[in-house]
A and B are shown apart, each in its own frame.
Chain A
Amino acid sequence: MLIELEKRKEPSKAMLYLTPVIAVIATMLTGAIIFSLIGHDGFGAVAKIFLAPLLDTYKWQDLGVKAAPLILIGVGLAIGFRANVWNIGAEGQYIMGGLAGTGVALATWGMTGWWILPLMCLAGIVGGAAYAGIPAFLKTRLNVNEILSSLMLTYVAIQVLYYLMRGPWKDPDGFNFPQTRLFTDDQILPTVIPSTVVHLGVPLAFLVAIIAWFVMSRSVFGFQIRVVGAAPAAARYGGFNTNKTIWAALLAGGGLAGFAGILEAAGPFGQMVPQFPTGYGFTAIIVAFLGRLHPIGIVLAGIILAITYVGGELAQSSIGLPAAATGVFQAMMLFFLLATDVLVKYRIKLASAVKAGDAA
């Protein structure tokens, strides 16, 4: 028996939406088996990671808070991925956005006014976009691969963060701890649901996803991005400027990552600390793919990945599952999605070896 792939005339719509579901289910099954094999309670672990956060209504607020940055970054990255622009340095842009916003917070420390928080957010967006501008410049002017440059810049951003925390931005009254002052009331995102941790950034992330949906599906910009990604030759023939698209894709991705950064700093953190980078920028890559590079899909994918984070923490405290398990589950999800992707474009046929020989 031989597996043969037969190209579909057009990509299967049903498979496009079905494969992420298959990927999640396959991850749960495989995860349960693997974790049983290495001596954990596999099915218990999967239940804790994937179901417990959903069943415990008290955990829903955490899901929202975790999903928000993933959705924001994922939506931005998807714009780039659609245009075949591989910005994988969102983690660095997230850090730089957080730092730029923190800079405003420290400069306005002690002041009051409604304008402080919007200014911090603006700085965050500009900071992230500017940092993504470096790979955009290198790519369009010098033809430098954006995968490598954006990733290298992430490591640089981490060092910039450490430097600022250890030196210039250290809290003067902080007993020499490498962290900034606590943000003041006017610099902290208000909570939108009383007596929960759900801050203003959560509805903002959903709003951004909806706006991105309209932009990507209804505007010339969205069309241009899709054409450049799907058919670069046609795009050139149609007079679309490839360099402009690269700039737009990177600035959008960096800006949203930066926005996510300052929302985290002014939200859950309430100050800037060396532990600020938590890998959201990398996880958001999985979110973008699991969401099929579609803003609404990314919202759902963001929630699913948030479930694995919250559930992973639950499993850690209750059944002692190692923290690294979450990453394994997340990567498996992307593996399964990519593997089942083949079903979107191809029909799987089982052919006998003889027949295959005849055909060739």
Chain B
Amino acid sequence: MTDSLLIPIIMTIVGAATPILLAALGELVVEKSGVLNLGLEGMMLIGAVTGFAVTATTGYAPLGVVAAMIAAAASAGLFGFLTLTLTANQVATGLALTIFGIGLSALAGENYVGQTVDVFGSVFPAALAEHPVLRVIFGYSPLVYVSLLLVAAVSWFLRKSRAGLILRAVGESDLSAHSIGYSVIGVRYMAVLFGGAMAGIAGCFYSLVLTPMWAEQLTAGRGWIALALVVFAGWRPMRLLLGAYLFGAVMTLELHAKAAGFSLVAPEFLAAMPYLATIAVLAIISARKAGKSLAPACLGKPFKPSS
């Protein structure tokens, strides 16, 4: 009895946590390089619609995921061109990218509304994936396992690898990194493209795994929660993992409370919960760290060596 309730709850938490984890992990790398890309929501939507369209056309979900990564990374490249090459304001450009992504995805997905694709299911044999208890470990989309591997990989990359060190140097002190011969703009372009590709996977997690269908504004503001999550995690991948699952739990609470006809509080209050929780968490974290910020020192500042 408890299993029959507990296991679906855990699985819903994992489902809710994975896309924001993927998107936030990409944004974390972007921000570590000193760039603030507020276009996460827009890139996710572009990924979501591309992934869905390609999967619906070819019938092959992995191809959809790759296409989503490419499309979202291309939109990130546009952001990079404006902010890095043309030194445009990062906040404004990121917002424009979100508005653009919302419109473009709605436009591109118009003919796909109402269609369905096969769920991007498990890679494990059905005996494990559909086992009443073991499915809590084996019953997920491959993207879930990919997201966990990526957390470990990014964590290792930032802390242990030489390239990661350069990336952090560019984010903490762009002028010094430049003066010892690293290409600040080059490193930032790579980071921004990576962030875009990750947002693309995150987006198609909604359209290929969770729903699986396409609807306008499918991601429903989760991109912004992912952005908040990066701050919440203090720019550390492992804490990001914890934060994403915490947020996943809050969102799941809402779903299950609604399903169970829980009527003590208004459903609107539960729907507002993830956002209120984000604000509360930001307040606690920011207050505690007031004075010494954990943010990369060059975050959001355009780089122009000669001026």
Contacts and interface: CB of A to CB of B under 8 A. Distances in A.
A155 B275 contact: yes
Given A145-B286, A155-B275, A167-B266, 9 more contacts: A7-B307, A148-B282, A152-B224, A156-B276, A163-B268, A324-B107, A327-B103, A331-B104, A335-B100
Interface stretch (A59-67, A136-144, A193-201): A136-144
A30 B89 CA distance: 22
A341 B268 contact: no
B216 A147 contact: no
Contact of A282 (B89, B93, B99, B272): B99
A169 interface: no
A176 B303 CA distance: 57
Contacts, number: 137
B282 A163 contact: no
**Chain A interface residue bracket vs B:** 35 or more
Interface string A63-86: 000000000000000000000001
Contact of A327 (B91, B106, B307): B106
Nearest to A4: B306
A325 B103 contact: yes
Contacts of A325: 103, 107
Interface string B280-307: 0011001101100000000000001011
A268 B38 CA distance: 33
Contacts of B115: none
Contacts of B89: 338, 341
B92 A289 contact: yes
A166 interface: yes
B272 A156 contact: yes
Nearest to A166: B268
**Chain B interface residue bracket vs A:** 35 or more
A324 B96 contact: no
B121 interface: no
Interface stretch (B10-18, B80-88, B141-149, B189-197): B80-88
Nearest to B87: A342
Interface of A: 5, 7, 38, 86, 88, 138, 141-145, 147-149, 151-153, 155-156, 159-160, 162-163, 166-167, 282, 285-286, 289, 322-332, 334-335, 338-339, 341-342, 345-346
A142 B106 contact: no
Given A144-B286, A145-B282, A327-B103, A155 B228 contact: no
Given A86-B91, A342-B88, A148 B103 contact: no
B98 to A, nearest CB: 8
Interface centre among B92, B304, B307 (most CB of A within 10 A): B92
Contacts of A335: 78, 82, 93, 96, 100
A66 to B, nearest CB: 17
B96 A163 contact: no
B286 A153 contact: no
B268 A334 contact: no
Contacts of A149: 279, 282
B96 A144 contact: no
Nearest to A165: B268
Interface centre among B100, B110, B275 (most CB of A within 10 A): B275
Interface string B201-243: 0000000000000001000010010011001000000000000
Contact of B104 (A147, A152, A328): A328
A128 to B, nearest CB: 18
A11 B206 CA distance: 45
A339 B304 CA distance: 16
B278 interface: yes
B91 A153 contact: no
14 contacts: A138-B283, A143-B290, A163-B269, A286-B96, A322-B106, A324-B106, A324-B110, A325-B107, A327-B103, A328-B100, A328-B103, A338-B86, A341-B88, A346-B87
B102 to A, nearest CB: 6
A138 B286 CA distance: 9
A253 to B, nearest CB: 15
Contacts of B92: 285, 289, 334, 338
B286 A143 contact: yes
A80 to B, nearest CB: 11
B278 A152 contact: yes
A160 B271 CA distance: 10
B228 A152 contact: yes
Given A155-B272, A167-B266, A328-B107, A338 B88 contact: yes
Contacts of A147: 38, 91
Contacts of A145: 231, 282, 286
Contacts of B307: 7
